[in-house]
Amino acid sequence: MTQRAHRAFDPSLLLLPAFALLILLFVIPLVWFFVGVLAEEGSVGAVVERFVDVLTAPGIVNALVTTNWISALVTVLTLVIGYPIAYYLANSTGWRFALVLFCIIVPYFTSVIVRTYSWMVLLGRNGAINQTLLSLGIIDAPLQLLYNKMGVLIGMTYVLMPYMVLTLYATMRSIDTNLVRAAYGLGASPLYTFRKVYFPLSLHGVISGALIVFILAIGFFITPALMGGPSDVMIAMLIERAVEITLDWTSAAIMSMALLAMTLVLYVIYYRVTDVRRMMGA
Amino acid sequence: MPPLRRATDGLGAISLETVTKRYGEEAVVDGISLDIKSGEFFSLLGPSGSGKTTTLMMIAGFANVDGGRILVDGEDITMKSPQARGFGMVFQNYAIFPHLNVFENVAFPLRARGAAEADVKRRVGDALALVRLDRFADRFSRQLSGGQQQRVAIARAIVFEPRVVLMDEPLGALDKNLRYDMQVEIKEIQRQLGMTVVYVTHDQEEAMNMSDRIGVMNRGRIEQIAAPGDMYERPVNTFIGRFLGEANLVEGNLQQAAQAGSTLRIGDNVLLKAPAASPDLAGKTVHLFIRPERVAISTPGPGDAVAEANSVAGQVRRRSFLGNINRYVVAVASAEITVDVQNVGGPRFEIGDAVVLTWAVTDSLVLGS
């Protein structure tokens, strides 16, 4: 107790400016918007009714289903493609490590719009990919790679890949290579060792990475808006339309709250997972 | 009656034929050859960087062999993968799988070999009973003490009844008392199961306590292979003499070398009787090797000179009390000789006392420099 008195100040004070900014620019406007918009409905009963109306409207239900479906697919794709990349990173050194890490990190620092337009150039009807495939004679007619679900999946998977790879890499890096060696020494084949030792030990990273990618994916807006087709409407796009075009702010508020709720629930799960990880001492 | 089956088929003999390992230009293991018998407890002992762990890793299959061959029961396994060799293995930091409980850790080698569930249950139960961990089957490694983790690692290495078990400094992380207990336990398990053990350590007491034979390594080569007692009594060179316990290596000039006995001169005028030495060493600087506990210390007085013993005058320079022994460092001419006296109530000597040191010639050895 007396020792505490000698401390110059509590280091958590350093968080104050960030907190102030967050509350002023995020929490207050958000609450203001929700309360202001919903107050126009009059009674609490009317608000609840409106909630049910909005969240059961076919267009919005569709968008919610699409959002979750696309997010789930993107999560799986980033995992399937990202796992081997992270494994390579965790088990290499020197210039190979630096090169792969550079390729993962650089897009991470580039604007999402720039990256999305780059993909549009590549994937378009007369884009580089179709041109190449046509000239090689692999296809007869250009593939429809843009303005459909394929385009959305390619774009979002690419944008979200660094989050998956870096999360997996951090976990894999902490796996004791002696354990893999021990498994070999005790007679396990490489495949058995991967299934029973390496993959289970990397599972925390898989779950964390999947949750991060999914949380980010359900709020995606620019990439699906630019690369998707008319049927690939995600919830964030509906919110934007409600605010900018139809000026139906009540619906926008309700949809935003639904999205926020989903995100928070997933975040709690993510927090629990990382907490468990700390308990395991990994 | 041992719970696991005792190996009685005489398998598990290992031969190394001029095995070499290079890192760049440097040979970290430099053409070593040795034969380990079936059921033998063989220790590779040496300071760090001597190549002992690299040798074990080559036997295990984790390090490539750059020259020579490794044979098990006459079969060349040099190019075989670690899993195909079928050795049990205990690692330096135990390498217990953190996501599996004790039972599943021990079951791992059996499941990897596709053993039937009933078989797994029985064998894991037997192995855990052998290391006295039967009540800990559901625990995870983070809930175990260092000694218990060590036991899990041992149970896991023996559960599939391998003919050969390799151990890489398994007790390095344990404290001194526990280490001794574990030495006794490992030795007991090895005797019960009769498997060949290749044991790597830098601790000479550990090697002497457990091994049937020890191979001392230094700078990538084997300096001597012998049973602990023989190596302790008859080291082939000063490195071994110094490495295995306390030793006096009295530097002197070999005056005369003969089969009947030789003479060593230390300082200007002290002549010591020494055992037979190679005639090549005559006239050269050599070391007279004698263990501190083989030297007797007494007050000067009239005594019968014994033909087969040395009796030299000296002066006590230092004294240390080590509990069970009193250690004196005595100046004799230009040399210092360490003497260990069992603390059994004999006379004590103080710094500066004039004393006489006596030892049998047959207890000493002439070692070249």
pLDDT tens for residues B296-329? 999 887 765 666 788 898 999 999 999 999 999 9
Closest alpha carbon within chain B to A282:
B98
- So what's the ipTM on this one? 0.79
pLDDT tens for residues A206-240? 999 999 999 999 988 888 888 888 888 888 898 98
pLDDT tens for residues A40-55? 888 888 888 888 888 8
Q: What is the mean pLDDT of chain B?
A: 90
The predicted model gives A56-85 an average pLDDT of: 94
- What is the interface size between A and B, counted as CB pairs within 8 Å? 65
Q: Provide the whole-model pTM.
A: 0.81
Fold (topology level) of B14-238: Rossmann fold (3.40.50)
Is the pLDDT score of B7 beyond 70? no
The predicted model gives B22-42 an average pLDDT of: 93
pLDDT computed for residue B345 by the predictor: 84
Is the pLDDT score of B358 beyond 50? yes
pLDDT tens for residues A129-156? 888 989 898 888 888 888 888 889 999 9
pLDDT computed for residue A275 by the predictor: 67
The predicted model gives B267-283 an average pLDDT of: 84
The chain B residues in contact with chain A (CB within 8 A) are: 60-62, 81-83, 86-89, 91-93, 95, 97-99, 108-109, 111-113, 142, 156-157, 160, 166
Q: Would an 8 Å CB–CB cutoff place A179 in contact with chain B?
A: yes
CB distance B109–A281 less than 8 Å? Answer: no
CATH 2.40.50.100 residue ranges in chain B? Answer: 246-368
CATH 3.40.50.300 residue ranges in chain B? Answer: 14-238
- Residue A208's Cβ-count burial label (10 Å; 0-12, 13-18, 19+) is buried
CB distance A184–B62 less than 8 Å? Answer: yes
Is the pLDDT score of A190 beyond 60? yes
Identify all chain B residues contacting A187, using CB atoms and an 8 Å cutoff.
Answer: 83, 86, 109, 112-113, 160
Point out the least confidently predicted range of B61-65, B206-210, B331-335, B354-358: B331-335
Is the pLDDT score of B2 beyond 90? no
d(CA B319, CA B348): 10
B117: number of CA atoms within 13 Å, CB side?
0
Q: Would an 8 Å CB–CB cutoff place A192 in contact with chain B?
A: yes
Is the pLDDT score of A281 beyond 50? no
Nearest to B99 by CA among A281, A28, A120, A55: A281
Is the pLDDT score of B1 beyond 60? no
Give the minimum alpha-carbon distance from B350 to chain A in angstroms, rounded to a whole number: 52
Residue B308's identity, in one-letter code, is E
Identify all chain B residues contacting A277, using CB atoms and an 8 Å cutoff.
Answer: none
- For an interface test with A, the pick among B58, B77, B81, B108 (most A C-beta atoms closer than 10 Å) comes out as B108
The predicted model gives B344-351 an average pLDDT of: 88
The CATH class given to the B246-368 domain equals: mainly beta
CB distance A189–B82 less than 8 Å? Answer: no
pLDDT tens for residues B169-201? 999 878 888 889 899 999 999 998 999 999 999
Sign of torsion over alpha carbons B16, B18, B20, B26: positive
d(CA B272, CA A260): 93
pLDDT tens for residues B327-341? 999 999 888 999 999
Q: Would an 8 Å CB–CB cutoff place A125 in contact with chain B?
A: no
d(CA B215, CA B237): 14
The predicted model gives B343-368 an average pLDDT of: 90
CB distance A182–B93 less than 8 Å? Answer: no
